[in-house]
Chains A and B, each alone.
Chain A
Amino acid sequence: METSVVTIAQLSFDTIDLAELEAMAEGERDGLPFGVVGVDHQGTTQVYNRTEAAMAGLDRESVLGSGFFETVAQCMNNFMVAQRFEDEPTLDEIIPYVLTLRMRPTRVRLRLLARAGAPLRFILIER
């Protein structure tokens, strides 16, 4: 238990990589201090960690399996985010962004992570 907490603390928003995110269990991703969203190539939400659910004010179970860019994150459904995953198979970039968490304009940092051939693309959200 102790060791796992230490490990998670070292995995920061800026440094964690896609392989580490993929290898983590759901509970471990829940322990991260930033939002983690994993979206498959059909746009379906497959990973939605507890941190993100709390920030958005949503129930994880109702988000999982839904179209992420249609139902939860329309504000990312433009050329600045969603289109980039379509255009760039491999992507690791941090961008300043504004989300509407609980309908409040909220400045965040987004980290967009994708690797050619990987089943999920990850979006990390830091408030």
Chain B
Amino acid sequence: MDDVTEAEGLLEFLYAAPVGLVQIDMSGDIAMINPHAMKHLLPLAQGRDPGNLFAMLDRCAPELRNMLEAFEPSRGSVCDGHRIMVDLAPPTDGADPKVLACTVVKLDAERAIACLSDVTLQVAQERRLKQAETWFASLLNDVNDYAVLSVTADGLIDAANASWTKQSGYSCDAAVGRSMADLFDRTAGAGAIAVCEQLRLAARDGWHLAEDWHERLDGSRYWCQRLLAARTAPEGDLTGYTLVLRDVRRDSQDAHDLRRLLTEDHLTGAANRARFQHVLDRELKTWRETGAPLSLLMIDLDHFKQVNDDYGHLAGDAVLRGFAETVAAAIRPTDLLARLGGEEFAVLLPATPLEEARSIANELRTLIEDMRTVSGPHRIAVTASFGCAVASGQDVLARADEALYVAKRSGRNCVQAARPAAIAA
């Protein structure tokens, strides 16, 4: 009787635990799972096998399978608090986009335990605090770390302090007279806001914070945090800007690795969901403020499950890597390729009207069609379907998705574009 009571007590404990627990084998098949875990996972499964953790997470965290596979030690922590961005855009009911944190521990060669918790609120709070933190961090740091440039209302540099030379290698004379855009736009990473836009935002809001790569005179790069503050005359007219620069990373491999881990998809090197969400959000803001057309491609590899079934997961992974390499090499530096799900990708195309997006999509479609992935004795050919949409006040993600669905339905290996008017009609 005591054994029964104890077993019931343990079950009650696991049923009520406010955190998700899942025990899996190396292929993700679930041996045990508690209700809290299923509460979060089942809505994500969308018809995929609810008996397999990786299948249920494939749409929004395909990297977990690769992370466990790539973990060589026989036991230990595979990831700790790894974030799973469930919603790419804020839900229509005004709630914060859902985020789960996932910790995976490998127990032995056959078993791993995953722990899932909902960190939506923490992430939303972090986001709200981040700008303030960045601001305070730059205030509290040693004054010697600052490089200060003075910028005219037209965006030309008219003075620089000694720290500027220390930080960037450029002499003060070499900077003065050049435009800020000339110094900073060239080395900016994909998805960065152009300097002219930063100047406009700073003039409007009083200040603008940015973080990006900057190249020193000797060609080496550093991660640079920039505060651009507008200077105004007492009557309110813009007289110029003060640009404060901080070298916030010391080119360490650790920092680079950490950044990659946080922004890149583990398998393909494309941007991950978190990075995509961040850049999409920012590009939509730019679109609202400037009206420059913002296009989005949603891409899905056709019959990808068949590739996995016929040639195995490793071959499937090689196809995904080949796809990402091919697309990344073909798009412009300002475009952003992201992996959104198992075989689902997106390309964000700033300053691109729909017609141009459609022709880019067609070029990519041809490249993918011609691509061959070598896996053992096989040369695997795949095709992809494309949905394009341009930001127009309605949800650009949903409309690109809808166009993708049409492309899938009309035979795959094709491009479909959603026109706001056509959708509304």
Which bucket holds chain B's interface residue count?
20 to 34
Chain B residue contacts of A100, Cβ below 8 A: 33-35, 37-38
Closest to A59 in B: B8
Chain B stretch 1-20: residues in CB contact (< 8 A) with chain A: 5, 7-8, 11-12, 14-16, 18
From the candidates B5, B12, B38, name the one contacting A105 in the complex (CB within 8 A): B38
Closest to B45 in A: A98
A80 in the interface (beta carbon within 8 A): yes
Distance in Å: Cβ of A96 to nearest Cβ of chain B? 10
Chain A stretch 59-74: residues in CB contact (< 8 A) with chain B: 59, 62, 70-74
Chain A residue contacts of B40, Cβ below 8 A: 78
B32 in the interface (beta carbon within 8 A): yes
B399 in the interface (beta carbon within 8 A): no
In the complex, what distance in Å separates the CA atom of A104 from the CA atom of B32? 5
Closest to B43 in A: A78
Closest to A102 in B: B11
B42 close to A80 (CB less than 8 A): yes
A74 close to B35 (CB less than 8 A): yes
Number of A residues with CB within 8 Å of any CB on chain B: 25
B275 in the interface (beta carbon within 8 A): no
Chain A residue contacts of B35, Cβ below 8 A: 72-76, 99-100
Given the contacts A56-B11, A104-B32, A105-B30, A75 and B16 also touching, CB distance less than 8 Å = no
From the candidates A58, A73, A76, name the one contacting B8 in the complex (CB within 8 A): A58
Distance in Å: Cβ of A38 to nearest Cβ of chain B? 18
B14 close to A103 (CB less than 8 A): yes
A78 close to B8 (CB less than 8 A): no
A71 close to B15 (CB less than 8 A): yes
Chain A residue contacts of B12, Cβ below 8 A: 58, 62, 71
Distance in Å: Cβ of A100 to nearest Cβ of chain B? 5
A97 in the interface (beta carbon within 8 A): yes
Chain A residue contacts of B34, Cβ below 8 A: 74, 100, 103
Chain A stretch 32-87: residues in CB contact (< 8 A) with chain B: 56-59, 62, 70-80
B36 in the interface (beta carbon within 8 A): yes
A74 close to B39 (CB less than 8 A): yes
Distance in Å: Cβ of A67 to nearest Cβ of chain B? 9
Chain A residue contacts of B11, Cβ below 8 A: 56-58, 102-103
In the complex, what distance in Å separates the CA atom of A28 from the CA atom of B33? 32
Chain A residue contacts of B39, Cβ below 8 A: 74-78
In the complex, what distance in Å separates the CA atom of A23 from the CA atom of B40? 35
Chain A residue contacts of B32, Cβ below 8 A: 103-104
A127 in the interface (beta carbon within 8 A): no
In the complex, what distance in Å separates the CA atom of A76 from the CA atom of B42? 10
B206 in the interface (beta carbon within 8 A): no
Closest to B18 in A: A74
Given the contacts A100-B33, A100-B35, A105-B38, A74 and B15 also touching, CB distance less than 8 Å = yes
In the complex, what distance in Å separates the CA atom of A63 from the CA atom of B42? 24
Distance in Å: Cβ of A104 to nearest Cβ of chain B? 7
Closest to A82 in B: B39
Name the residue in B12, B16, B34, B40 with the highest tally of chain A Cβ atoms < 10 Å from its Cβ: B12
From the candidates A57, A99, A107, name the one contacting B7 in the complex (CB within 8 A): A57
Given the contacts A57-B8, A105-B50, A97 and B42 also touching, CB distance less than 8 Å = yes
Chain A residue contacts of B45, Cβ below 8 A: 98
16 pairs, CB–CB < 8 Å, chain A vs chain B:
A58-B12, A72-B16, A74-B15, A74-B36, A74-B39, A77-B39, A78-B43, A79-B43, A80-B42, A80-B43, A98-B38, A98-B50, A99-B35, A100-B38, A103-B32, A104-B32
5 closest Cβ pairs, A-B complex: A75-B35, A75-B38, A74-B35, A98-B50, A103-B32
